[in-house]
Structure formats: C-alpha cells, structure tokens
Amino acid sequence: MVEAPKVAENIMTEWLGMPRLASTHGGQLDNMIGWVHIFMLVLFVGWGGFFAYCLIRFRRSRQPVANYTGVTSQASKYSEIAVALVETVLLFGFAIPLWAARVDDMPPESEAVVVRVTAEQFAWNAHYAGPDRVFGRTDLKLLDPQANPLGLDRSDPAAVDDVTTLNQIYLPVDKPVIIRLRSKDVIHSFGVPEFRVKQDAIPGLTIPLWFVPNVTTADMRTRTGNPEFQYEIACAQLCGLGHYRMRGFVTVQTADEFQKWMEEQGKEQSAPDPFR
Ligand SMILES: [Cu+2]
C-alpha cells in the first residue's frame, strides 16, 4: 500500500475540512470563507457570553426593581462599530475584489479553452470548437435527443472538427478555461467543488464562467491515494425527478494528453457515420 504524499493545502481549506483545491483562485475563496467563520465564531462567543452575563447579573433576586436610567456605558456602541468595521473589511477587502476578478477579468478567448456546456434533464452536453477555434453552426431542426443533442450541423465547414461529449469534460491543466453555460429546459447548476466553481444554468441565457484547473486528475489520484478519483460535476439545483443522477465528470490532463484527446475525438466524430 503506497502512502499518499502529503501535499501542503491551504490552511483554511484544512481547517474547514473543505474538498481539495484544484484551481488557482480556490485558495482565495477558502480564505474568505475561513475569515467569515472566524468572525462569526467571535460574534457567537461574544454575544453568547454577553447574554449569559445579563441573565445572571440582572436576575430577579439581585435586581428586584427595574433601573429606569438604563445602561450608561458606551461599550455596546463601540462593539457595534467594531462589528460594522470588520464586516466592511470582509465585504470590500475580500468579497467584492474576488467577485470582480471572477466576473470581470475574463481571460481573452485566444488564451483559453472555450467549452460550451449545455445542461438538460438530466445530462451535461459539452461542445468544443476543435483546432479551428470556431464553433460550428447549430440548428434546432437538427436536434435529436439521442444522436445529436446539440443540433450541430456537421455540413458546416466550421463544424467538421468540432467535438461534442456527453457527461465528460476534458480540460488541459494550468490553462484558463471559459465555460459558456446554457440550459435546454429548466434551471440547473454547474458545480465542481474542487475547482470552487458553481454557476446556475438559466434557460435562454448563456452565462460564462472561468477558472484555471491546476491539478491533473492523475495527480489528484496520487494525492488522495484513491486510484478512482474523478472530478465530479454535480447539478446543484433540484431540476426534476432525475436530478440525483445528473452528474458528469471532468478529466484534467496535461497539455499533450489533451491535444491528443482532441485530435482523436475530432477524427472519430467527423468520420462518416456507417449507420446513416
Ligand atoms: Cu440539473
């Protein structure tokens, strides 16, 4: 039995018992969640202690008559100000910058792998543009739930090298990934805990999300000591009776492996279908 090597995790990740990190921005998110927990713990102990103090200090046997002057100390005012300050720091120092980076600082498409992910009851369809980096035409009329769930028009020259997959997303490591998320029917949600991404898929909208996966599936298998480890896409919105089985898998590969996979799939999928 090979002992899994100890990989230094983010201290907050360990403390909170979060899933392992496999994206570049995940540590920042865990830090923020960690600080919120610490702050809430301080508040909980502080207010809880104050409540217990009041129960004892102002019990009836000790304080039989009401005091009409009330509290004269300023302590509560200062502690309220301190709480508001810490909340401001959490919001403006952590939450807003992180959100701005996730939403506004999209990497240019030329430097990223762009995948169109279309959710449906109860599966994840992925569509890659292939080496030409141009997505082929899609048409509702060509849509076939089994043979062509995305309605891709293979007669379009841009579509020849396109690759589509079902419930399997392949990504290269250390490269920005832009996912253009859509839904065919109801609201679904694309969540991969290790990448610290979760985004609702809304019918009628294309919502982009991006991240940089930085641990390959193979590396994660060594780190976890689990030879069957897989990054799992969980649908994080209750989307119907089959919601529980709406899961997909992400395989993070080295750049070479990914290139090879893409070429093989391109050849296989563009070959004329012998059954048609
Ligand atoms: Cu779903």
pLDDT tens digits, 48-73? 999 999 999 889 898 888 888 887 88
Q: Which of 144, 126, 123 is nearest to 243 (CA)?
A: 123
- pLDDT computed for residue 73 by the predictor: 86
Cα(223) to centroid(ligand 1), Å: 30
Task: Find, among 67, 86, 68, the residue nearest to 78 by Cα.
Answer: 86
pLDDT above 90 (res 146): no
Q: State residue 272's pLDDT score.
A: 65
pTM assigned to the model: 0.84
What is the whole-number distance in angstroms between the Cα of residue 144 and the centre of ligand 1? 19
Q: List the structure tokens of 32.
A: 């923020």
Mean pLDDT score of the chain: 90
pLDDT at 1: 47
Going from the Cα of 32 to the center of ligand 1, the distance in angstroms, rounded, reads 28
Q: How much distance in Å is there from the Cα of 243 to the middle of ligand 1?
A: 5
CA of 140 to the centre of ligand 1 (A): 21
- pLDDT at residue 140 in the model: 87
Tell which wins on pLDDT, 81 or 267: 81
Amino acid 167: pLDDT: 95
* Cα 199 to middle of ligand 1, angstroms: 12
Q: Express each pLDDT in 68-117 by its tens digit.
A: 888 788 888 898 999 999 999 989 988 899 888 888 889 999 999 999 99
Assess whether pLDDT exceeds 60 at residue 274. no
Rounded distance from Cα 107 to ligand 1 centre (Å): 27
Contact in structure between 114 and 129 (CB atoms under 8 Å): yes
